[in-house]
Structure 1
Amino acid sequence: MEETKLSCDNDKIEREAPQLVTVLKDIKGGLDDLRAKVHVLTSKVKSGVYPTADGMSYLEAKHLLLLNYCQSLVYYLLRKAKGLPIQGHPLVHSLLETRLFLEKIRPIDKKLNYQIKKLTNLTNGNPIPMEDVDPNKPVASDDSLKLRPNPDMLIDKVAPEDDDGLYRPPKIAPTSMKKSKEERNVSRKEKQALRQSQQNEYARDLINDLEGRPQEVREVIGTEDDSEVRRYKAKMEERARREEDLFTRAPLTSMEKKKLKQMRNSRNGLAGLADGFYDDIKSLGLPLEEGDEGQTSFMDSDGGERKLKKRHKRRH
């Protein structure tokens, strides 16, 4: 077993050795370049070429964060090279914290980019562009306007070739992709099935039970099987949903109040109970008067009640 394990390890080392050698060479080359640049910079700082006193506190803080991040990365690579575990080590928390700070200051970099460039040009001895200098104004040593924004830098210096000078508004109108006939039919069937399931009382009760909602005591107007009542209830539920979304109460209009009153007073709130009543009692053999043959509704509408009242008046 040990010989097999050793042979597997040797095969793995031989297979990954060229890649490791390439990576180590790249690391060594990068370290040599970095060492040379750092040596030159440190010598210039010590000789006073790059004065660091009275500088921008923001740049100093950013450089310290970058230095801390680089040191943490070097220590991380050292532990990985030695095969030491890093799980639960404070190094991971330090890396994440420093990286978070660097990500948070990116908007500040964008806002201060122009001012930082001007300051670095002044410290490096680069002259200020001529468009920023007013020839009629005397030069002052402590002129605060020398760091003012340059409006010319906001204008695109390269004009498009096909520019004809006409203003064309941006095309921001929403467009929809054309669907095939099969896709439209499938979408229509899905919407119809969803609408039917929302109107089904049993499906709504089942969904409420699965979601653990409390039982709701609702006002019943007429019967649940009346299509007019169902439409009214759906409208009121949609109204309540919009009120909850907008956090405001929508008052009822005069027409809606009138409609609600009519539905409550319609046959004492028993709308729809007499639907099909004539079909149920037709087989009882009740005597019918002339003109009543073929009648399909019996006391199921206001028109039937008015006909009976007229007959009663004719008899008396």
Structure 2
Amino acid sequence: MTAYDNNEENDMNERGTLLDFPGADELAMAGQVEPLSEPALARVLTAVEAAVATEGVTGTAGSTGRVGLTAGGGTVTSIRGPSRRRRVLIGMLTTAAVAAGVVTYTHPGTTPSSTGGHSAASADTAAVFLDDISTVAATQSAATGKYWKNHTTIADTYISQSMQYYVVTNGKAATKGTRPDWQLGPKDLDWKGLEQLTTDPAKLLALLQTPPRPKSISPFDQAATLLSDSPAGPKLRAGLFKAMAGLKAVKLVGQVKDSTGRGGTAVEFAEAKSVGRVIVDPKTSAILEYTFTWTAGASKGKVSHYTVLSSGFTDKIG
């Protein structure tokens, strides 16, 4: 056996020892961990430090071991104690990382959770994800145009600044009259009203949480519609994602595919008789698909998909 082979064997043995802790399989299956957001990082560090204090993990000569996370998602540890204690600490770190949503929404292949009951950790993870997406949305380029175009799997739709609505199918344009205003809490917004709307997340959340009006759609649906079907600018989109994160019962589903096979990250909002789901492209913050599923009543089991292939401003129809 050469020196190289011996070193490789030692490395494999050490790797096997380090991966002998609860949660190792899930972490290995998750793949590379993306950089944490500041809120997620803070939660992980708090959980790990608490665990270290509780377990009393010590280093050489009785000194307390130190563990931390870098902004790039790596780990730094000065543990020099027995391997068993190292495994305990790594297990704590893994548990905290999973609880913070590090593995849940950043990796393709994550199995989506069901629409059943979820813990507070799941809700917290959804908030972290939506907060991260708001940052992505804020960095997108602002644009203008005479029409807002949505290229969907059904047709191409256009909304003018005067709220005239057009649909193009098979190359033929048809006027559909005036587009209904977008709803946001007590407000009904046309194109101009949308431009004048606050972008402050707290104020947007307050609007979404106002008592519902007759025939009003849910707060989640209101935010999802504005994000997927309106010419909302980068700052407003960022504010809406943050506001959505503040809604109760919003949960993170994880990595999924839309009806066309595109990968994205889904969040859901369950009501008494229905579940709304949006699939977001985490790289661009674009809404890939909005799904509405009836879970009770005469329409139970009925699912509708609104799949957006592309959207943006344009100066002409067709």
Same fold at TM > 0.5: no
Q: Which structure features the higher share of strand residues?
A: 2
Larger radius of gyration: 1
TM norm structure 1: 0.24
Q: Which structure features the higher share of helix residues?
A: 1
